[in-house]
Amino acid sequence: MSDLIAPGAPDAAAGTVAFVVDGRPVEVPDDGSSLLVALRDHLGVRSAKDGCSPQGQCGCCTVLVDGAPRVSCVTPVRRISGRVITTVDGLDAADRERWADAFLATGASQCGFCTPGIVCRLEGLRSKGTAADDKAAVDRALAAHLCRCTGWQTIGEAWALAASGASGAAGALEADRDLEAAGRRASIEGAAAQHVGADVVLGRAGFADDSAPEGALVAVRDAEGGWAVGETLTEARAAAAKVQGRHGTVEPAPPLELPPGEWALTLRTSWVEPAYLETDAAWCEPGGEPVSPLGNGGAFGGKRTSPVTAVARELADLHGRPVRVLFSREDTVRLGPKRPPVAAGVRPDGTGVVRVVRTEGIADAVRSVAPGLVVEEVDVPGPPTSADVRGAGWVEAAVLLAALEARATGAHGAKVVSPAGAEAEAAIGPDGVVRVQLTCGPVLDEVVLRSYAIGAAHMALGWVTSEGLSVGADGTVNDLTVRSFGVLRAADMPLVEVTLHDTEGEPVNGSDAVFAAVAAAAWAAQGWPTDWPTGLPLTSGPVPQ
């Protein structure tokens, strides 16, 4: 481990800042910390989350300051001297239950990382008397947030329940729900251990950094690629001496040229960020086993090979103390695995060539659904890639074949069968509604499976139309902020109607099949333009061929 910086002691002359948190008076050092760091590191309030470290763009750290929502990661703690801070933990018990019931009843929380901040934002909106059916107001409020899991629709449904006062009825319905079965379905869809319950809605799902012991050292990457260690996150960041990266000015573009040939359909995709909200984190006791960064979800495959666990173990042994290892958002973007870009051409009979950025296992993934496609792996400067990222390889192949069939038959939708055996059909109607049919074995829990299907539709629509990373010719990622990834906002998301078919057998992942089917349907609705993201609105019609 290189470039380790020994922790120092807090500045005793810095003074303190006094304010009220969740009804109790507190004092914290005036050490230049943000309100978020003061809450998490000094006061042990872990419901407010750090998702952009600190960019003020994801909303996960939102709390109420004198009753008004505020993003705490970019609020200096000294600016809230004498103010009243309310986190989701400090909401009135009845209000907290109202939101937990509503989110649980609609499936508006999956991993739960973004949810406490969203609940605080919506509670601020409700306190102003906003009508339960005022979708425009809710969409404006959610513009300050990013949720990668749910696709926004179920969050709007949770708002309508809570704001209308119907969440009490929702809570009664939950009493008869099998949350163990719900957790099983969530684990299948998320490809990692996951549970479902009110504690998830309230930010208590067991995320790695939330469980770190008091007094643990904090390690962050420094400007040279080593690790700076401090007593607090503020101190570690100061020692790291890194300048926060920003949003690039160059639009994302596919890095690969199409293979030569006469093709019925061609497709080129760009670098895409998985954009999971909880950045990589782990902690470890000296001589112990590190806590996994997969606290309550699979991060769409993006954390399966995260280095933070090994670093936490090594630093804990070196310092003889527990150590928290935290990636910033910039670290996650630069170092986390991406969906490998492709450039493909297919013939009317389903044969063709897929060029793809060299990635272990990607050729097998393509061939698992499209044995007629020849895979050519190409070395291209850029961020790391992985076949672990959601459906990488097989989804692109399935999209090509589904779109080819839709084009040949004049169908208005697309059907996909995943390697796991799930069947998904998707169509985008003239009214703009995305309609999905899904069969993936026993449903287990309708609320959870519907939520994952809507979330997969959201990711697919963004992938086709707006998501991408700008990467320089030398492979350097230029887009380092959450808002530069192109993830669709709540206001941009169309209605998704999901029909679930309950069948016998073993339950299998269904949302990945939905991801592929909706991507194919969206592509077809836009007239099969070659390059993704298309930059076209979801409602656009076919483009000239």
The dihedral over CA atoms of 302, 180, 421, 192, expressed in degrees to the nearest 10, equals: 20
Length of the chain: 545
- At 292, the pLDDT band (50, 70, 90 cuts) reads very high
**pLDDT tens for each residue of 165-215:** 876 656 555 668 999 999 999 999 999 999 999 999 999 999 999 999 999
The two tokens of residue 448 are 């959870």
CATH of 342-525, one of 3.30.365, 3.40.1350, 3.40.50, 3.30.70: 3.30.365
Mean pLDDT value of segment 24-46? 95
Domain boundaries, the chain: 91-206, 342-525
What's residue 14's pLDDT? 60
- At 250, the pLDDT band (50, 70, 90 cuts) reads confident
- Choose among 61, 467, 535, 473: nearest CA to 274: 467
**pLDDT tens for each residue of 391-423:** 999 999 999 999 999 988 888 889 999 999 999
**pLDDT tens for each residue of 472-531:** 999 999 999 999 999 999 999 999 999 999 999 999 999 999 999 999 999 999 999 999
- Burial group, residue 20, by CB count within 10 angstroms (0-12, 13-18, 19+): middle
User: Which one-letter amino acid corresponds to residue 176?
Assistant: D
**pLDDT tens for each residue of 440-449:** 999 999 999 9
**pLDDT tens for each residue of 333-373:** 999 999 999 999 999 999 999 999 999 999 999 999 999 99
Mean pLDDT value of segment 32-50? 95
Token pair 């669709």 is found at 488
* Beta strands per DSSP E along 394-486: 413-417, 423-428, 434-439
- At 543, the pLDDT band (50, 70, 90 cuts) reads very low
Handedness of CA 161, 136, 22, 236 (dihedral sign): positive
CA angle 45, 49, 50 (to 5 degrees): 120
Mean pLDDT value of segment 70-93? 97
* Beta strands per DSSP E along 121-255: 217-221, 227-230
Out of 5-9, 130-134, 268-272, least confident range: 5-9
CATH of 91-206, one of 1.10.150.20, 1.10.150.120, 1.10.287.130, 1.10.510.10: 1.10.150.120
Mean pLDDT value of segment 416-443? 97
**Confidence (pTM):** 0.94
**pLDDT tens for each residue of 10-22:** 344 469 999 999 9
Percent of residues, the chain, with pLDDT higher than 70: 94
Handedness of CA 209, 220, 218, 316 (dihedral sign): positive
- At 81, the pLDDT band (50, 70, 90 cuts) reads very high
What's residue 174's pLDDT? 61
What's residue 1's pLDDT? 43
Q: How far apart are CA 259 and CA 234, in angstroms?
A: 50
Q: Is 391 left (phi over 0), alpha (psi -120 to 50) or beta?
A: left
**Could you tell me how far CA 499 lies from the centroid of its own chain?**
24
Neighbours of 2 (CB within 10 A): 8
Q: How far apart are CA 481 and CA 247, in angstroms?
A: 6
